[in-house]
Amino acid sequence: MQLLDGKLVSQTIKAQLAAEVAAGLKKTPHLAAILVGENAASQVYVNSKIKSCEEVGFKSTLIQRPAETTEAELLELVQQLNSDPDVDGFIVQLPLPKHINDERVTLAIDHRKDVDGFHPINFGRMAQGMPAFLPATPYGIVEILRHYHIETAGKNCVVVGRSNIVGTPISILLSRKGYPGDCTVTLTHSRTHDLPAEVRRADIVVAAIGIPEFIKGDWVKEGAVVIDVGINRVADESKKSGFKLVGDVDFESVAPKCSYITPVPGGVGLMTVTALLINTLKASKREIYG
């Protein structure tokens, strides 16, 4: 079993991004992030995105607003960033407070600045194989597969979870023509009959359901590649924070059966942040939309 090291791949890609910035660009890439409310995990995620920008020499702007911010106020902020010529790309950190409709917010983002790749224009272009901002987590997954030269053509890939942000787009990317792609993809979810039997057929498993340690060792075929997208906080009194991070995969029982597996922490999560940086550079160079 070999670990797919998200930290190593992230460092490799960030070094390339930093070298490109250092060599001189027409414009310093600029990422902005809007954070609404006080969700502790969201604050960690946004801070790591800002810190990653600094590491590679990008400019960043963090806009923080209280949980009571109205949807109209947030839409106004989105419009400001849409029309700010210095901002190449921006994100609205999810989850948003319950009184805000994230669909309306996503639709309000200029698709040319949608570096999270959540806007339906980017989603539709991705699905048709046109240039698009790829959603950050699926993009991170394909980059980790690429770094380790993992074969994908003709492989059975079973995706567990059908969210708009991970399960659905990664199933599209892995079934697309070319590398990494050309998989035969099965997209499974809460209504799937006999999920363990589906997972046992997989050469590549992508676990993105948000249930801690859900996928067990006896569900996984010998030699499978396992991509664990889960970031779940579970209580752990031995930690200063009072919790530890675990994936959607029961690492202890699954890892011995795998050819490759991503750890949590240190796997796909780091790649999500790195993919956001790649998209921000593409936005600043107008690679997708000219």
Q: Binding to ligand BQF by residue 36, rule CB under 6 A?
A: no
3-state secondary structure of 33: strand
**Tokens at 133, concatenated:** 């901002």
Q: Is 62 in the site for ligand BQF (CB under 6 A)?
A: no
Burial 154-186 (b: 16+ CB within 10 A, else e): ebbbbbbbbbebbbbbbbbbbbbeeebbbbbbb
Q: Does the protein bind ligand BQF through residue 94 (CB under 6 A)?
A: yes
Element of type H or E holding 186: strand 184-188
CB atoms closer than 10 angstroms to residue 210: 14
Cα–Cα distances (Å) from 30 to 21, 59, 112, in that order, read: 12, 4, 13
Q: Please choose, from the candidates 152, 199, 196, the residue with its C-alpha nearest in 3D space to the C-alpha of residue 174.
A: 152
270 binds ligand BQF (CB under 6 A): yes
Contacts with ligand BQF, 136-175, as mask; x by CB under 6 A: ----------------------------------------
Q: Which is nearer to ligand BQF, 43 or 192 (CB)?
A: 43
Which residue of 4, 14, 45, 219 would you call a contact of ligand BQF, by CB under 6 A? 45
Task: Pick one of 9, 34, 187, 245: the residue that binds ligand BQF (CB under 6 A).
Answer: 245
* CA–CA separation, 290 and 67 (whole Å): 36
Q: Which one of residues 269, 278, 279, 288 is an interface residue with ligand BQF (CB under 6 A)?
A: 269
Name the strand (E) or helix (H) holding 197: helix 195-200
From 244, 218, 249, select the one nearest 233 (Cα to Cα): 244
Return the number of the residue (43 or 253) whose C-beta is nearest ligand BQF: 43
Q: How far is the CB of 263 from ligand BQF (least distance, A)?
A: 8
Catalytic residue ranges: 49, 93, 116
Query: Can you tell me the distance from the alpha carbon of 6 to that of 145, in angstroms, rounded to the nearest whole number?
Result: 10
Please report whether residue 266 would count as binding ligand BQF according to CB under 6 A: yes
How many residues bind ligand BQF, per CB under 6 A? 13
- In the list 273, 275, 277, 278, the residue contacting ligand BQF (rule: CB under 6 A) is 273
Which of 231, 254, 275, 283 forms a contact with ligand BQF (CB under 6 A)?
A: 231
Q: Which stretch binds ligand BQF (CB under 6 A): 20-28, 121-129, 177-185, 259-267?
A: 259-267
Instruction: Assess 254 for contact with ligand BQF (CB under 6 A).
Output: no
Lookup result for tokens 């035969």: 184
Nearer to ligand BQF, 172 or 245 (CB): 245
CB 62 within 8 Å of CB 91: no
The C-alpha atoms of residue 7 and residue 34 are separated, in whole angstroms, by 25
Residues that bind ligand BQF (CB under 6 A): 45, 48, 93-94, 231, 245, 264-266, 269-270, 272-273
